[in-house]
């Protein structure tokens, strides 16, 4: 049995903050393919552009958005 060099650290996905094992993860340092793709700015980009909910018209104006 191989011993001593297995990386079993738990890390936090830099994209979504999910805790995941470093081992057996082809998408590290991300938790999943999705997070990796998002970080690379691929086809998921648009979906994740708005990270905080817009709650008021004032906020929209601050952001320079007339309407969604
Ligand atoms: Zn993630």
- Domains in the chain with CATH codes: 10-62 (3.30.50)
- 50 Cα–ligand 1 center, Å: 17
Is residue 6 within 8 A of residue 23, CB to CB? The reply is yes
Per-residue pLDDT tens over the stretch 18-29: 998 878 888 988
Q: Which residue has the higher pLDDT, 63 or 55?
A: 63
Per-residue pLDDT tens over the stretch 57-66: 776 677 776 6
Parallel, antiparallel, or unpaired: how do β-strands 10-12 and 19-21 relate? antiparallel
- 15 Cα–ligand 1 center, Å: 5
- 34 Cα–ligand 1 center, Å: 7
Structure tokens at 4: 């001593």
CA distances from 53 to 48, 49, 57, 63 (A): 11, 11, 12, 12
- 58 Cα–ligand 1 center, Å: 31
Residue 38 — very low, low, confident or very high, per pLDDT cuts 50/70/90? confident
> Helix H segments across the chain?
33-39, 45-48, 57-62
- 61 Cα–ligand 1 center, Å: 31
For the full predicted model, state whether its pTM sits above 0.75. no
């Amino acid at each position: 049995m191989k011993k001593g060099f297995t990386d079993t650290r738990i890390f936090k996905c830099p994209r979504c903050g999910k805790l995941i094992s470093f081992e057996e993860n082809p998408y590290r340092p991300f938790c999943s393919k999705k997070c990796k793709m998002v970080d690379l700015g691929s086809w998921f980009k648009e979906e994740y552009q708005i990270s905080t909910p817009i709650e008021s018209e004032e906020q929209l104006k601050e952001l320079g958005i007339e309407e969604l």
